[in-house]
Structure 1
Amino acid sequence: MQNTVATTAVPRQGGIPYKWIVLIVVIFGLFMTILDGTIVNIAIPRLQNAFGANLTSVQWVLTAYTLVQGVATPLTAFLAQRLGQKRLYLIALVGFTVGSALCGLAFNLPMLIFFRVIQGAMGAFMSPLAITLLYSEFPPQERGVALGALGVPILLAPAFGPTVGGYIVTFLGWQLIFYINVPIGIIGVIMGIIFLRESRIEARTRFDIPGFILSAVGLATLLYGLSDASTDGWGSTKVLSCLIFGGLMLIVFVIVELQIAFRGGQPLLDLRVFSNFPFTTANIASVFVTFALYGGLFLVPVYLQDLRGLSAFQAGLLLLPQAFASMVASLVAGRLVDRIGVRWVIIPGLIILTFAMWLFTFMNVNTPFGTFQIWLIVRSFALGFCFQPLSVAAFSEIPNPRLPQATSVNTTIRFVVSSLAVAVIATIVQTRTSFHYAHLAEQVTANSPLGKLIPELQGFFIVHGATSVSAAYAAAVQEIIGLVQLQATVLAMQDAFYVSMILAAIAVVASIFVRSRPKKVRPTTGEAATIDEGAAARDEAMLAV
């Protein structure tokens, strides 16, 4: 995007340089969208209770948001060229703020999901626009400084999001997790109107309508099929039809996009970037790592609140240290990549991640919270060693003219895989819970430990005022059913983490093929004014994380 749009304003004379004003304004919008995602994650169990819905239904609050981001992100370049960067930024910020307010007003789950779609569509433009606005104002030799300043709020939002969201959900109500965006959004809009300058459009592109329709229909149908498998079963006609139809639509999408690109047109996504070997291998590894990340983000709050009885605020506090571990790991990994190369940072990180996922396969309802927190810290530290270096590797050999296309493809993949990961993990937990429940229920006999517990519970309820012997017996059986359901859910979560462990191990294999090229020392003479393409790619990659 940054190659097709230029600013028309003259440099600012006196006061704060305009480029730093752009950075400050962009931080507000980007911080709000990142904060929103981490706050909503912690509220999933509360939303289940508020709307009386199961896990598969509530996960659409997350998956619909991230899926529409993946579909809408490629539209950023086209809309920015037609509307201008400033105007699109303000429209996106206003739309996201209004969507947040509407989410707080939702009185049923379908309405909340619909308003989350509005949020996601508007928020999808924020990250690409942030990259474009910064690249338009900061010269190549200063983009590292801009990255460092932008990285602080990006890292702080996930750190404090679960704790802030947990406090709001526990003591104020789930609606406030959306209303909190409104004042931030209003301040961001006012700052954008006052300080941002409109850009001059240098070129106009045609909108790839077939590509957009094929990708939207294909992804939505595929995601619906994955989500519905938990209730209808993988072999149901509806699920198989959705999966096959969605897959066919995406295959046609790939064919159409390649045809448009090879004919010299401008596709929605330029899939020719996959001819770049580092880009392809890094994205393959990133897909598996994303499953490990979002599977944990989705399951851990449910485990802590529904199975362990913590409040949302208590769960948020327990999650706080892991966010700082990820922050430290990201900063350390960034320095190590420049010193020893990408591969030798990624592989140890993925091995540690695989080990962390293995630890989670042993969790149960009696796992000490201190032990569980250590597992979270190890997992987050490993993730910090994976995501940023993988992005650096992906863009390391992309020529400057193709960076916008590569960034768009990479961002779209991240959003789409995130939504699919949540849907798949939720489906695994639902289906495996039913499987384990049936298996455990068969083992509850009169001579089994749980079977022997029924008369004891019955006597307990009689002593404590049960209206009749039959009522006491029914209450005792209900307690046993609850215990069996609890254990079945824990076993299902163990299965989900086992799948994540396997995917992390596959990512280790994929990362072996990632090329490792340490950063070259740049000359200190006048030649330093010209930045090599590899360095520019690293800057772009880090901004896109």
Structure 2
Amino acid sequence: MSASPAAPVRITIVVAVVLSAVLEVLDSTIVNVALPHIKSAFGATTDQTTWILTSYIVSAVVVMPLTGFMARRIGRRRLILTAITGFAVFSALCGLSWSLGTMVAFRMGQGMFGAFLIPLSQSILFDAFPKEKRGQAMAMFGLGVVVAPVLGPTIGAILTDTYSWRMVFFVNLPIAALALLMLGGELPKDEPENVRIDWAGLFLMAIGIGALQFLLDQGESKDWLSSRVIQVAAIAAALGGLAFVIRGLGRSETIVDLRLFADRNFAAGNAIIAGFSVAMFGGIAILPLFVQGLLGYPVIEAGYLFIPRGLAAGFSMVITGAVLVNRFDPRMLAALGLILTAWSNFATGALNLDASFWQLAWPGVIGGFGMGLVFVPMSTLAFDKIDSARQNEASGLYGVTRQLGSSIGIAIVGAMIVRGLAMDTALLTQHVTPYSAAAQAYLAPLGLTPQSTEGAAILSGEIARQAALMSYTRVFDMLGWVAAGLLPILLVMRRPTQSGAAPLAH
């Protein structure tokens, strides 16, 4: 069939909003690889450099729920164009940073503008396509939101190793310029509304969400509740969040419409996407530590490890959105995706210290297929009954849930690795003594004894390696059970009235 006159416009909008989404999600992982180089450039400590990540995430997660309000206040077209421009400006400033303090300040600005990009991109796509074509739109959108952060470590490693750490920020500029050019020419204008600002709600939300994100980011490095700062953050998160929810449920006009969660598909979809982010991105976060710190992979080769996962995720996104969602119940597709995600984590946890590149990569491929099977159907299910007037707001809340889930996953796996390593080292040490027959047999081929200095050092190193492996295995198994544990939530979700996906041109 021939393309309709509107088809080129739709394709342009899809490409533009995918580029907008890539700006934000790529930046969330591409910077991680460059942190050691930034640390050396500024003479900073490890704790200080974590603020480069924390400042961005905290500012983004606080601002993201305001997407619906700001879109009504100044217009969606103006907001996304402003957000892309602001993100590009602060990206350039990050690349030009001359101290750690300026870097942290510019990253905070990056996060504030970047917070709007994913929710606005998603809501623009929902409005651009009818329900029966949303699967196709979400498949294209998912290529940016899910594949970009998976490939982020690879791209960051190549740019940092070949050029400079500053390039991980400058790479945003051509992407932003292209997205601005395309959206500025195709996105229709909309009229802003005279919306009253709920200052009290805004304050409570910022305190609750900001303190929670800070707690998740800094808790492990500050030894959690043994730190007075983390204690204050926990209290602020609990009181601010509770007050915001109680106040929001009792008012008709608030900064964020919590009544969206009355829709069971939207509420269940948020729960699943949060848990999925824990299971998937928690594993992605510790995989570089596993292969570089324990298996001795160089940074470039560790980055290449994510390429098969990214390709599988991209293929899965397209096939799920273009074909599968149109033919099968999205709940069944999401269930298969969660099973593959669980399988991926269990398979990674079953590896040993002699694992080859492809033994490490294949579980990632399985997980990549799972990403597409979860992401596209979840978007279709969660937003099925959300009307167009509330799309921006719902997308903002959905984005916050995804981000908090990812942060919770990273915080949990970080704590489990540290505590598990100490526990497993103590456990193994109890069974390895200078008079142990196993220790003597292990060192005998080397002509050493446990009593010798060199022999004791080899035993100590091997204990540390085995303890670390046990700790990582426990974490990957836990993430697998998290993914599997989400399956019952699908039972409360309704099948969408129209869940198909048609080609962009028809």
Quick check: TM above 0.5?
yes
1:39 counterpart = 2:30? yes
Q: Paired residue for 1:179?
A: 170
- Say which of 106, 109, 116 aligns to 1:118: 109
For residues 400 and 368 of structure 1, do their structure 2 counterparts lie closer, same or farther at Cα, with a shift above 3 Å needed?
same
Amino acid in structure 2 at the alignment position of 1:365: L
Give the whole-Å Cα distance in 1 for the aligned partners of 2:68 and 2:408: 25
1:490 counterpart = 2:469? yes
Which piece of structure 1 moves more, 502-511 or 437-446? 437-446
Question: What stretches of structure 1 of length at least 5 have no aligned partner?
Answer: 1-13, 461-471, 520-533, 540-545
1:258 counterpart = 2:249? yes
Which piece of structure 1 moves more, 289-298 or 226-235? 226-235
- Compute the displacement of 1:68 (Å): 2.7
Q: Paired residue for 1:469?
A: none
- Compute the displacement of 1:174 (Å): 2.6
Q: Paired residue for 1:424?
A: 412
For residues 109 and 442 of structure 1, do their structure 2 counterparts lie closer, same or farther at Cα, with a shift above 3 Å needed?
farther
Q: Paired residue for 1:213?
A: 203
Q: Paired residue for 1:95?
A: 86
User: Aligned with 1:314: secondary structure?
Assistant: helix
Q: Paired residue for 1:236?
A: 226
Instruction: Please tell me whether the aligned partners of residues 343 and 516 of structure 1 are also in contact (alpha carbons under 8 angstroms).
Output: yes
Which piece of structure 1 moves more, 294-303 or 334-343? 334-343
Question: What stretches of structure 2 of length at least 5 have no aligned partner?
Answer: 502-506
For residues 29 and 276 of structure 1, do their structure 2 counterparts lie closer, same or farther at Cα, with a shift above 3 Å needed?
closer
Q: Paired residue for 1:527?
A: none
Per-residue CA deviations over 1:127-166 (Å, capped at 9, x if unaligned) read 2333455566667787777666656555663565343222
- Compute the displacement of 1:457 (Å): 9.0
For residues 39 and 510 of structure 1, do their structure 2 counterparts lie closer, same or farther at Cα, with a shift above 3 Å needed?
same
- Say which of 499, 512, 515 aligns to 2:491: 512
Which piece of structure 1 moves more, 451-460 or 370-379? 451-460
Which piece of structure 1 moves more, 389-398 or 480-489? 480-489
Q: Paired residue for 2:284?
A: 297
User: Aligned with 1:249: secondary structure?
Assistant: helix
Give the whole-Å Cα distance in 2 for the aligned partners of 1:308 and 1:436: 18
Q: Paired residue for 1:311?
A: 298
- Compute the displacement of 1:319 (Å): 1.4
Instruction: Please tell me whether the aligned partners of residues 352 and 469 of structure 2 are also in contact (alpha carbons under 8 angstroms).
Output: yes
User: Aligned with 2:250: secondary structure?
Assistant: helix
- Say which of 377, 383, 387 aligns to 1:395: 383
- Compute the displacement of 1:21 (Å): 5.0
- Say which of 120, 128, 131 aligns to 2:119: 128
Q: Paired residue for 2:504?
A: none
Q: Paired residue for 1:362?
A: 350
User: Aligned with 1:304: secondary structure?
Assistant: helix
1:413 counterpart = 2:406? no
- Compute the displacement of 1:189 (Å): 4.6
Amino acid in structure 1 at the alignment position of 2:234: L
Per-residue CA deviations over 1:343-388 (Å, capped at 9, x if unaligned) read 2112222222222222222233322222111111112212221122
- RMSD of aligned C-alpha atoms? 3.8
Q: Paired residue for 1:447?
A: 435
Amino acid in structure 1 at the alignment position of 2:65: P
- Compute the displacement of 1:175 (Å): 2.6
Give TM-score scaled by structure 2 length.
0.82
Q: Paired residue for 2:255?
A: 268
- Say which of 156, 160, 163 aligns to 1:165: 156
Per-residue CA deviations over 1:368-415 (Å, capped at 9, x if unaligned) read 222111111112212221122122111223344443332222122112
Instruction: Please tell me whether the aligned partners of residues 437 and 488 of structure 1 are also in contact (alpha carbons under 8 angstroms).
Output: yes
Amino acid in structure 1 at the alignment position of 2:210: A
Amino acid in structure 2 at the alignment position of 1:199: K
For residues 316 and 352 of structure 1, do their structure 2 counterparts lie closer, same or farther at Cα, with a shift above 3 Å needed?
same
1:378 counterpart = 2:369? no
Per-residue CA deviations over 1:39-83 (Å, capped at 9, x if unaligned) read 2344466667776755x7766544543343222122233333444
Amino acid in structure 2 at the alignment position of 1:99: F
Q: How does 1:46-85 map to 2 (within 5 A)?
A: 53=45, 61-85=52-76
Give the whole-Å Cα distance in 2 for the aligned partners of 1:48 and 1:477: 34
Give the whole-Å Cα distance in 1 for the aligned partners of 2:217 and 2:349: 23
- Compute the displacement of 1:118 (Å): 2.0
- Compute the displacement of 1:123 (Å): 0.9
1:342 counterpart = 2:330? yes
Rg comparison, structure with higher value? 1
Instruction: Please tell me whether the aligned partners of residues 63 and 420 of structure 1 are also in contact (alpha carbons under 8 angstroms).
Output: no
For residues 79 and 450 of structure 1, do their structure 2 counterparts lie closer, same or farther at Cα, with a shift above 3 Å needed?
farther
- Compute the displacement of 1:277 (Å): 1.5
User: Aligned with 2:486: secondary structure?
Assistant: helix
Give the whole-Å Cα distance in 1 for the aligned partners of 2:265 and 2:390: 14
Give the whole-Å Cα distance in 2 for the aligned partners of 1:456 and 1:142: 66
User: Aligned with 1:205: secondary structure?
Assistant: coil
Per-residue CA deviations over 1:286-311 (Å, capped at 9, x if unaligned) read 22111011102211122222222222
- Say which of 204, 210, 213 aligns to 2:194: 204
For residues 459 and 343 of structure 1, do their structure 2 counterparts lie closer, same or farther at Cα, with a shift above 3 Å needed?
closer
Give TM-score scaled by structure 1 length.
0.77
Give the whole-Å Cα distance in 2 for the aligned partners of 1:364 and 1:289: 25
Instruction: Please tell me whether the aligned partners of residues 31 and 153 of structure 1 are also in contact (alpha carbons under 8 angstroms).
Output: yes
Instruction: Please tell me whether the aligned partners of residues 445 and 451 of structure 1 are also in contact (alpha carbons under 8 angstroms).
Output: no
Amino acid in structure 2 at the alignment position of 1:283: N
Give the whole-Å Cα distance in 1 for the aligned partners of 2:294 and 2:44: 17
Give the whole-Å Cα distance in 2 for the aligned partners of 1:501 and 1:455: 39
For residues 508 and 306 of structure 1, do their structure 2 counterparts lie closer, same or farther at Cα, with a shift above 3 Å needed?
same
